[in-house]
């Protein structure tokens, strides 16, 4: 059955290419800059991005132009499609606003949804929307599914260093306090997201201790529907974390996604980051 709804998302979603192609998800790339050199996210392979970070220019990012969203929306609507566009959290990026502005001229044909998440948190929401579209769900039904999924989603991150996050200016609400703590006590900050906003959750005296804290927190959420581990340059540790999660909470190991985030989020996270995205079971209401 031909889908009436087509799903659009941005390149921070970190979805595997095979799923993007299988479910016909359209990706709008964010922008990555190294000094005068400008790249659409995805033009640089992950290894190529990290090689460039050792050069003279620090990476910077920006949201896609409004016109890029508008052009894609126009193409899809002209084919008789309804468009559902999901973006990285509006609390730390202008991408949602760019998509919303682009959608204004299309009326009810285009809906824009704020994921309040990033990386595979956004990716899972986009995939869920695309699966719903394939199953013939209406726009209203799909939006209801996404709102429910978003409310049950938790993202917890252990940072090895604050340098990239501080330079990116995306967490000014708590960065000064955390930076003083890390400098004086040499601790590893643990952050999570509340309604799409990065918040300081706690701190650990070592990276290993931070991972244990995350394990304890995820276990306390109760039965889970989805689980993923995202990292920057820490593939082996991420796989070990997935193994520990599977054992600790009796979650099928083969269902835990493990992936390295792309260039856009790496600009702000830096190397040495482990994040866990957990979605509670619909019947679970953690306190």
Q: What is the pLDDT of residues 207-237, one digit of tens each?
A: 999 999 999 999 999 999 999 999 999 999 9
Cβ count near 140 (within 10 Å): 9
**pLDDT-above-90 percentage for the chain:** 76
| pLDDT value at 162 more than 70 | no
Which tokens is 247 given?
Answer: 């054992």
| pLDDT value at 170 more than 70 | no
Compute the distance between CA of residue 241 and CA of residue 275 in angstroms, rounded to an integer.
10
The angle at the Cα of 152, spanning 3 to 18, to the nearest 5 degrees, equals 40
Q: Are 2 and 79 within 8 A, CB to CB?
A: no
Q: Alpha carbon 89 to chain centroid distance?
A: 8
Q: What is the pLDDT of residues 27-79, one digit of tens each?
A: 999 999 999 999 999 998 899 999 999 999 999 999 999 999 999 999 999 99
The closest alpha carbon to 9, from 119, 86, 66, belongs to 86
Helical segments of the chain, H only = 17-22, 46-52, 66-78, 95-103, 120-134, 139-151, 163-168, 172-185, 207-219, 235-249, 263-269
Q: What is the pLDDT of residues 180-215, one digit of tens each?
A: 555 555 678 888 999 999 888 888 989 999 999 999
The closest alpha carbon to 110, from 154, 152, 147, 76, belongs to 76
Q: Are 88 and 115 within 8 A, CB to CB?
A: yes
Query: What is the longest distance spanned by two Cα atoms in the chain?
Result: 60
Whether the pTM exceeds 0.85: the reply is yes
Q: What is the pLDDT of residues 239-258, one digit of tens each?
A: 999 999 999 999 999 999 99
The closest alpha carbon to 2, from 28, 24, 20, belongs to 24
The pLDDT of residue 264: 85
| pLDDT value at 132 more than 50 | yes
Compute the distance between CA of residue 273 and CA of residue 266 in angstroms, rounded to an integer.
9
Compute the distance between CA of residue 31 and CA of residue 33 in angstroms, rounded to an integer.
7
The strands making up 37-40's β-sheet, listed across from edge to edge, are: 37-40, 31-34, 59-62
- Band the pLDDT of 164: cuts 50, 70, 90: very low
Q: Give DSSP secondary structure letters for 23-87.
A: TT-EEE--EEEETTEEEETTSS-HHHHHHHTTSSS-EEEEPPPHHHHHHHHHHHHHTT-EEEEEE
Strand-pair category, 188-194 with 197-204: antiparallel
The pLDDT of 125-154, averaged and rounded, is 98
The pLDDT of 139-144, averaged and rounded, is 98
**pLDDT-above-70 percentage for the chain:** 89
């Amino acid at each position: 059955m031909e889908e009436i709804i087509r799903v659009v998302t941005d390149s921070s979603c970190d979805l595997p290419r095979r799923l993007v192609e299988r479910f016909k998800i359209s990706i709008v790339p964010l922008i990555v800059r190294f000094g005068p050199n400008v790249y659409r996210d995805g033009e640089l392979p992950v290894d190529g991005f990290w090689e460039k970070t050792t050069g003279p220019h620090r990476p910077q990012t920006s949201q896609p132009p409004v016109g890029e969203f508008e052009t894609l929306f126009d193409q899809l609507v002209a084919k008789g499609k309804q468009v559902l566009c999901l973006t990285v959290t509006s609390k730390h990026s202008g991408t949602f606003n760019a998509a919303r502005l682009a959608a204004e001229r299309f009326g009810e044909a285009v809906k824009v949804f704020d994921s309040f998440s990033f990386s595979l948190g956004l990716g899972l929401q986009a995939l869920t929307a695309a699966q719903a579209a394939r199953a013939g769900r209406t726009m209203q039904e799909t939006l209801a599914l996404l709102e429910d999924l978003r409310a049950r989603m938790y993202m917890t991150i252990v940072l090895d260093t604050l340098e990239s996050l501080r330079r990116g200016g995306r967490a000014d609400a708590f960065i000064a306090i955390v930076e003083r703590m890390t400098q004086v006590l040499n601790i590893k900050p643990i952050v999570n997201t509340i309604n799409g906003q990065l918040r300081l959750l706690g701190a650990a005296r070592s990276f290993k201790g931070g991972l244990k804290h995350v394990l304890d927190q995820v276990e306390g959420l109760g039965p889970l529907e989805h689980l993923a581990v995202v990292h920057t340059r820490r593939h082996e540790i991420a796989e070990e974390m997935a193994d520990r999660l599977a054992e600790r909470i009796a979650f099928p190991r083969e269902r835990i996604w493990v992936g390295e985030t792309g260039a856009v989020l790496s600009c702000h996270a830096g190397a040495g980051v482990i994040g866990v995205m957990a979605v509670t079971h619909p019947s679970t209401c953690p306190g």
